[in-house]
């Protein structure tokens, strides 16, 4: 009887362990803070050059922006926004997936802020980020960016 109990318990335990936990929805204020961060970055020189280039090449409507955060410890990229982002400005809109040429921002946490890279990419043509082009930190409750 004891031989059957352990396999039965293991059979019930493993299916529960194999499922990934459901993602926790970010609080609205967290998403608003992320949007403030993106709006700050989009005003910087390199992202502005990419947005202007996309507009000059005839791209209509707001430019799609995709934002990733690189986790150095695990060496993975994760999307900055957990759900469907409602973040944008007069010439851009943050999306979860790009469907045309877009601006892609790569962030890497450093101290109280992030270093970032900005690149022009398409749905079938995207790199994993390069050297940091600038940094952004929160000072007195406001994001402030600078070029490196």
- pLDDT over 50 at 48, yes or no: yes
**Nearest residue to 108 (alpha-carbon basis) of 141, 144, 76, 147:** 76
**Nearest residue to 38 (alpha-carbon basis) of 12, 69, 6, 83:** 69
86 Cβ contact list (under 8 Å, min separation 6)? 31, 35
pLDDT tens, residue by residue, 25-47: 445 558 888 999 999 999 999 99
- pLDDT over 50 at 97, yes or no: yes
At residue 10 the predicted structure's pLDDT band, cuts being 50, 70 and 90, is very low
108 Cβ contact list (under 8 Å, min separation 6)? 69, 70, 72, 114, 115, 116, 132
Distance CA 66, CA 81 (A): 9
What residue spans define the domains of the chain?
Answer: 27-147
pLDDT at 39: 95
Distance CA 61, CA 137 (A): 30
pLDDT at 47: 94
pLDDT at 114: 92
| Listed ranges 4-8, 48-52, 80-84; the one with the highest mean pLDDT | 48-52
């Amino acid at each position: 009887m004891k031989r059957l109990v352990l396999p039965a318990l293991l059979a019930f335990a493993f299916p529960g362990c194999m499922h990934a936990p459901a993602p926790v929805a970010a609080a609205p204020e967290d998403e608003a803070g992320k949007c403030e961060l993106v709006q700050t970055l989009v005003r910087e020189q390199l992202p502005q050059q990419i947005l202007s280039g996309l507009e000059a090449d005839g791209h209509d409507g707001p430019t799609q922006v995709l934002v990733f955060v690189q986790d150095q410890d695990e060496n993975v990229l994760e999307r900055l926004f957990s759900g469907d982002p409602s973040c944008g400005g007069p010439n851009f809109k943050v999306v979860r997936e790009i469907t045309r040429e877009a601006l892609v921002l790569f962030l890497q946490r450093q101290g109280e802020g992030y270093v970032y890279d900005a690149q022009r990419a398409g749905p079938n043509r995207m790199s994993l980020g390069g050297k940091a082009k600038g940094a952004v930190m929160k000072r007195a409750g406001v994001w402030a960016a600078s070029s490196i």
